[in-house]
Amino acid sequence: MTDVREIHFQEVDVEAFATAEGRIAVIVPEDGKLDVSGRRLNRLTRGALQRAVASEKWGKLKDGQVLSLSFPVGLAAEALDILRLSRNPKPEQARAGGAALARAAGSASMLIAGGSTKRLDQLALGLALRGYSFTSHKTADDTPLGAAHILCSRSAEVAETAQTAIAIAEGVTFTRDLVNEPANVLTTTEFADRLEAMRGIGLEVDVLDEAQLEELGMRALLCVGQGSESPSKVVVMRWKGGESGAAPLALVGKGVVFDTGGISLKPAGGMEDMTMDMGGAGVVAGVMRTLALRKAKANVVGLVGLVENMPSGNAVRPGDVVTSMKGDTVEVVNTDAEGRLVLCDVMWYAQETYRPAAMIDLATLTGACIIALGHELAATYSNDEPLVSAFLKAAEAEGEGAWRMPLGQAYDDMLKSPVADMKNIGGRPAGSVTAAMFLKRFVKDDTPWIHLDIAGVAHVARDLTLSPKGATGWGVMALNRLIADKFEARQT
């Protein structure tokens, strides 16, 4: 796993500034008023700090942005980064400030004069998230990531508060690594092995192999992987931090480690990006990691279906009819609509086995989702108003965009098949909606449910505030917030 930047909190020590190496950062509010650390740094730099905050460049900055002075006189550090930030910033401003410091620092070590600024835990989260870089397969990139030391008032209290932020950063980083890995590395077996390793942080983990899946009747899932040499698997992760016997929240993730489209082969252009088609499973894994690391007081079970969709002489064909674990038959009209075949069996298994209090599935499911919402928002479907309202509130609070989409009988009618109980696609119109309606057929009437189509937000081609281009880890923070707000609170 990619290392998360080490972040330490300690009491303010102005004597450390003169000899600190790497980079020094100081927080200055809009009015340019310097605190005790700022005044010391201003003296050491012979007034350069004060001149900088009186400059035209400073006046043009917004909260969360940085002005850097390279090789400042009077300091051993290679740069002095001046972060413009209110002493009581909003969480998103604090995160943006941390992210700006991470961009400025690169891999250099940092000494950050936080003083009495509020929400330094959120600044640390932004620092950790934006400092991410996936370099596992770059042989020339062996520069270690320098630690960050944040000097602040009441450092022990801030450090304790920041433990949750660091756990979130660990979960997001785990998700990003999984999504960024090439498919020849992250096979279904390697994916399962990485999830099994989380037993070491307190998760209970079971891996169901093909023989067990066949016995359970998961033939919809199994048909997707039957053209691949990689064995299909279902991995179940359990975190039992809530009341004994209380029904868990079930998180279900699509884990197609590579998607060629099968016999309904995708175009060659862009197919290399299909290493990210396990993004839903990656998010589930990251959330479970976060919950275990922060010792969440909730019961949550994460289930991921791991398959590879390949064309071969044994691959499922368009027109084949398969039987799901539920017992419903599905006409496979298009083998590139495979994610819903994986999810439907895992969702049914989750309900039959765990009787969850609610169920949320995540998948990079449809290109139609991207046509509808671009790369800004995840498509959100639900059969339960209180649950989806709580999720959308959590997503907004965490800055992870999500948009409520419709469900309805007319869309369900588009799935009618002349030879089976349903088709696996409903045609081009409303493709993301009909995919959700397919999944809804596998949701029991008494199960509150959300479907998240994350095709547009799991992996992006541009830098974002908290992540470089590539895998974003979208959903880990929102789902962690939802669990904290809705599923932990009622069990304490």
For tokens 């005044």, name the residue: 39
Flag whether 164 is in a domain: no
CA-atom Rg of the chain in angstroms: 24
CB 332 within 8 A of CB 320: yes
Nearest CA to 253 out of 18, 474, 30 is that of 474
Domain span holding position 263: 171-491
Q: Are residues 98 and 210 in the same domain?
A: no
128, 155, 182: which is the final residue of a domain? 155
Flag whether 149 is in a domain: yes
Q: Are residues 176 and 37 in the same domain?
A: no
Point out which residues pair with 358 in neighbouring strands. 249
The structural domain count of the chain equals: 2
Q: Are residues 149 and 188 in the same domain?
A: no
Catalytic residue among 266, 297, 404, 444: 266
Note the pLDDT of residue 489: 56
* Residues in CB range of 247: below 8 A, 6 or more apart: 299, 354, 355, 356, 357
Catalytic residue among 130, 340, 423, 481: 340
Q: Tens-of-pLDDT digits for all 492 residues of the chain?
A: 899 999 999 999 999 999 999 999 999 999 999 999 999 999 999 999 999 999 999 999 999 999 999 999 999 999 999 999 999 999 999 999 999 999 999 999 999 999 999 999 999 999 999 999 999 999 886 788 999 999 999 999 999 999 999 999 999 999 999 999 999 999 999 999 999 999 999 999 999 999 999 999 999 999 999 999 999 999 999 999 999 999 999 999 999 999 999 999 999 999 999 999 999 999 999 999 999 999 999 999 999 999 999 999 999 999 999 999 999 999 999 999 999 999 999 999 999 999 999 999 999 999 999 999 999 999 999 999 999 999 999 999 999 999 999 999 999 999 999 999 999 999 999 999 999 999 999 999 999 999 999 999 999 999 999 999 999 999 999 999 999 999 995 543
Q: Are residues 134 and 177 in the same domain?
A: no
CA distance 10 to 21: 17
Q: Are residues 394 and 456 in the same domain?
A: yes
For residue 450, the domain's CATH number is: 3.40.630.10
Burial class (CB in 10 A: 0-12, 13-18, 19+), 137: exposed
Flag whether 165 is in a domain: no
For tokens 């209290």, name the residue: 157
Segments of 284-335 assigned E as strands: 299-309, 320-323, 329-332
Q: Are residues 252 and 323 in the same domain?
A: yes
DSSP 340: H
Flag whether 17 is in a domain: yes
State CA 363 to chain mean position distance. Answer: 12
Flag whether 2 is in a domain: no
Flag whether 161 is in a domain: no
Q: Are residues 251 and 320 in the same domain?
A: yes
Angle at Cα 198 formed by Cα 181 and Cα 304, nearest 5°? 60
Q: Are residues 249 and 349 in the same domain?
A: yes
Note the pLDDT of residue 322: 98
125, 155, 185: which is the final residue of a domain? 155
Nearest CA to 239 out of 250, 254, 231, 230 is that of 250
pTM of the model: 0.97
Is residue 340 annotated as part of the catalytic site, yes or no? Answer: yes
For residue 41, the domain's CATH number is: 3.40.220.10
Q: Are residues 134 and 185 in the same domain?
A: no
Is residue 266 annotated as part of the catalytic site, yes or no? Answer: yes
Q: Are residues 265 and 337 in the same domain?
A: yes
For tokens 């862009």, name the residue: 270
CB 325 within 8 A of CB 273: no
Note the pLDDT of residue 292: 98
Q: Are residues 138 and 231 in the same domain?
A: no
Q: Are residues 248 and 357 in the same domain?
A: yes
Burial code (b: 16+ CB inside 10 Å, e: under 16) for 315-346 equals: bbeeeeebbbbbebbbbbbebbbbbbbbbbbb
Give the other-Cβ count within 10 Å of 441's Cβ. Answer: 18
H/E segment holding residue 358: strand 358-363
